[in-house]
Amino acid sequence: MKFKPSALCSFVVVLTMLSTSHAYEIDSFYKRHQSIKDSGDLANAEINKKIATAVSLTKSCDVKELYTNVRNQINADSAGAGVIGGMERWAEKSTDVDKISPPPADQSIYEGTSFESVTSMGFWLNLYGLVKDKVNSGVLKTKLAIRKLTTASSDPLVLCKVSDSEKELAGKFVEFSKRKPGSGGPPPGGGNPPPEGEPQSGPDGGPPGDFGGMKKTMEFGSTETGTCISEVLGLKNSKSTASLQPVINLNGVRVGADKLGHFFDQGFDYFQKEYSIQNNKLIAQEDGQKKALEYGTSTEEGMFGLKGTGVKSYGDLAANYDGSRFWYNLTSGESPLVICKNGKMEVSHSFDVKDYVTEAWDEGTNCSEYKTQEMKEHVAQNLKNLKLSCPVEVAKCQAIEKHYSAEVLNSIVSPECKKNFTADRSGAHTQGGTK
């Protein structure tokens, strides 16, 4: 369908975010009872291949070098200038991975909610990645220019149906783009994200809005002509579920592809708050786990969650936490994945997702929270129409309760799931090695 924009907002340049940032959401209830083939073994093979490559590139027993190499390998296939992490892109794109694609907008649990509540942040992020990919593939005629983004016909691209709240959100990123190089954020390939999950640097470690040396800004104004950017990018309209990701099966658990990004990328952020590398060893930081959990909550209540997409995902928080355990177990614990032998790093044993993935990653069990009462009510009604409720299976919440410590449960499990906890937590533990 060809849109005929009238008095619409012209979209000139797309925002920049932290490398491998995540503000996508999923619909865990769409085709909830449709079987999905377990891709755990496929994920294991892919991850173990990346770890083996990283080990081969590590010339000595340098722990810092190993961590850098593993991170680089994990995200070697990232997309959208690092907006989509390497493993979640693998899950999205691999034809071998069985998946349920995001639903049409009118079949999503988010149907009927405002664009602001559902896809503000996720849409901008997705748009940024798509535009960058389209430029690289030659679909768009010009590079991202300073003042105008054009199609092959040189018509200005316009973003249809942009609300005042979207303009306000975009304005915040324009402010970020005005910061000077080195004014904040992590260096390339590492460092901790800023408080509240708000971006302070571009994907190459430079200032926001500076990709490949070109400054980018956003402009909003009226136009009577032009090509709707959603059409160029293959989106149906501005309310499409482009910011939703597919659902896959890992070790029998239904999870969004985004959880792999949270596991490796945000998991590393948690890990950095818990440990530092000194004298080639991991040193526990004071109150490290508490700080990591608090940081995770701030991101889900900040721009990567409630303030962005309007969704606070406890499933994301669970994947973040379990990812920190992977990074710890890489070189430490009772059975590290990689050891130093004869002056070189060596793979000790294989990675296995079953040691980390739990039902807490499933947003159909570990229910999300929403920014507004209106959004909450719409989602509840849409679930009712599907003859579903959250949690879908109460028993899975009770399984989660027995898996984690009380401190961790308090941070990564939703209030709705906690309602089904028992009083006995004597079996609480952390699978795959404690810290």
pLDDT per residue over 215-244, tens digit each? 333 333 333 333 334 443 343 333 333 367
Domain presence at residue 374: no
Domain presence at residue 230: no
pLDDT average, residue stretch 262-267:
95
Q: Which pLDDT score, from 0 to 100, does residue 306 have? A: 80
Domain presence at residue 295: yes
Q: Which pLDDT score, from 0 to 100, does residue 84 have? A: 62
Is the pLDDT confidence value at 179 over 70?
no
**Residues 204 and 191 sit within 8 Å (Cβ to Cβ):** no
Q: How far apart are CA 210 and CA 201, in angstroms?
A: 9
Q: How far apart are CA 299 and CA 17, in angstroms?
A: 14
Is the pLDDT confidence value at 190 over 50?
no
Per-residue confidence band for 202, with pLDDT thresholds at 50, 70 and 90: very low
Higher pLDDT, 25 or 238: 25
pLDDT average, residue stretch 34-57:
98
Spatial neighbors of 138 by CB under 8 A, at least 6 apart, are none
Q: How far apart are CA 80 and CA 215, in angstroms?
A: 17
Domain presence at residue 196: no
> Per-residue pLDDT tens for 155-174?
333 444 444 544 444 444 43
Is the pLDDT confidence value at 184 over 70?
no
Q: Which pLDDT score, from 0 to 100, does residue 28 have? A: 93
Per-residue confidence band for 424, with pLDDT thresholds at 50, 70 and 90: low
Domain presence at residue 70: yes
Give the 3-state secondary structure of 381-418. Answer: HHHHHCCCCCCCCHHHHHHHHCCCCHHHHHHHCCHHHH
pLDDT average, residue stretch 253-263:
95
Domain presence at residue 395: no
pLDDT average, residue stretch 207-216:
31
% residues pLDDT > 70 (the chain): 59
What radius of gyration do the chain's Cα atoms show?
A: 22
Q: Which pLDDT score, from 0 to 100, does residue 318 have? A: 98
pLDDT average, residue stretch 184-198:
36
pTM summary value: 0.71
pLDDT average, residue stretch 58-87:
82
pLDDT average, residue stretch 396-402:
95
Q: Which domain holds residue 76?
A: 33-98+244-361
**Residues 246 and 305 sit within 8 Å (Cβ to Cβ):** no
Is the pLDDT confidence value at 427 over 60?
no
Q: Which pLDDT score, from 0 to 100, does residue 105 have? A: 74
Q: How far apart are CA 347 and CA 330, in angstroms?
A: 9
Quote the mean pLDDT of the chain. Answer: 72
> Per-residue pLDDT tens for 272-306?
999 999 999 999 999 999 999 999 999 898 867 78
* Count: domains in the chain: 1
Strand 275-278 relative to strand 281-284, pairing: antiparallel
DSSP string computed for 215-271: E--------SS-EEHHHHTT-SSTT-STTEE-EEEETTEEEETHHHHIIIIIHHHHH
Domain presence at residue 350: yes
pLDDT average, residue stretch 370-398:
93
Sign of the alpha-carbon dihedral angle for 51, 55, 58, 62: positive
